[in-house]
Amino acid sequence: MGVGFLGLGRMGLPMITHIRAAGHDVIGFDIDDAARRRARETAVSVADEPAAFADRDIVCSSLPDTAAVERAYAGPGGIFDVVTRGTVCVDLSTISVATSRALADAARERGIGFIDAPVSGTSTHAAAGTLAVMVGGVAADLERVRPVLDCFSASVDHVGPNGAGLLLKLSTNRLLTAHLAAIAEAVVEMEAAGLDVAQGLEVLRRGAVPRLLDYKAAPLADRDFTPLFTVDLMRKDLRLAAEVLPGFRLATLAREILEEAAQSGHGEDDVAALITSIEAELPTDH
């Protein structure tokens, strides 16, 4: 299968390396001379201009931002001007949902497939070939390119129409940031309390925190508030925490959300009932 790969940076280079190792006929391109040179040093075949993608069945891109992706595909001499009908374009970047959908529409008018396929993971996961890919677009287009995506991924999931992959990726990164910030608060709290941070983190690893999705994801999605650990019990614990630990932003916000759930009648329900406070923030016309 003929593959073109646009973007040979920290993520793109290991991805194209895996594609080549799997036996695909792949050629790369990057506007940066240094990136092209590094790719050639790893024995990747590199073109000096995107016109080399004219005969490719699939074109993948891993670029830093929305503007770069828009230029690469829809700009003068861009991918849409180069490839032929029937080609499927796979954008692995994290960009504006609106721009990605507009590019998909523009591609469709030319008889070209276009899917958004942002990845979850870092350059370490890219090097290991264990990225998670979330795909928005036409299912048949995904099936054509799946053998290529499988080269550098541990999972490839079709999550909906164009834009759905990006929506899930953006939600994922919000969650990751909030989770990381909460862990950061816990580290500073432990330090302020004079606790052994290394020991405290090891205890956290053995508790409920690393498996929170296993315990609470389904009850949240299903609005199943059968009590295992109630809102009122958690309110009590957070009240005790506030007496002896710093009042950091996320901890304070979490307590406020829990109080709102109790005030709306969920005190005896499972702590998963805090989702009622979250969904109350949705605009009425949503």
* CATH number, domain with residue 243: 1.10.1040.10
Whether the Cβ atoms of residue 116 and residue 136 lie closer than 8 Å to each other: yes
pLDDT band for 284, please (50, 70, 90 cuts): confident
pLDDT at residue number 286: 61
* Shared domain check, 253 and 235: yes
Single out the residue in 132, 161, 190 at which a domain terminates: 161
CA nearest to 4, candidates 65, 63, 64, 45: 45
Q: The domain spanning residue 157 has which CATH number?
A: 3.40.50.720
What is the domain range of residue 215? 169-279
From 169, 216, 255, 266, the catalytic residue: 169
How large is the average pLDDT for residues 83-107? 97
pLDDT digits (tens, 9 = 90+) for 127-182: 999 999 999 999 999 999 999 999 999 999 999 999 999 999 999 999 999 999 99
Number of domains in the chain: 2
Q: At what angle do helices 249-261 and 231-244 cross, to 10 degrees?
A: 150
Same domain, 10 and 148: yes
pLDDT at position 43, please? 87
Contact between 60 and 4 (Cβ < 8 Å):
yes
Do 23 and 144 fall within a single domain?
yes
146 in the same domain as 17: yes
Q: Within a domain: residue 232?
A: yes
Task: For residue 236, indicate whether it is catalytic.
Answer: no
142 and 193 both lie in a single domain: no
Nearest alpha-carbon partner for 113 in 133, 83, 92: 83
pLDDT in tens, 96-141: 999 999 999 999 999 999 999 999 999 999 999 999 999 999 999 9
Residue 23: other Cβ atoms inside 10 A: 10
In a domain, 18, yes or no: yes
Contact by Cβ (8 Å): 259, 232? no
User: Is residue 115 within 8 Å of residue 91, measured between CB atoms?
Assistant: yes
- Report if residue 253 sits inside a domain: yes
Cα–Cα distance, 179 to 211 (Å, whole number): 13
Q: Is the pTM of this model over 0.85?
A: yes
173 and 152 within one domain: no
Q: Please, are residues 8 and 36 in contact by the beta-carbon 8 Å criterion?
A: yes
Q: Which of 97, 129, 161 is the last residue of a domain?
A: 161
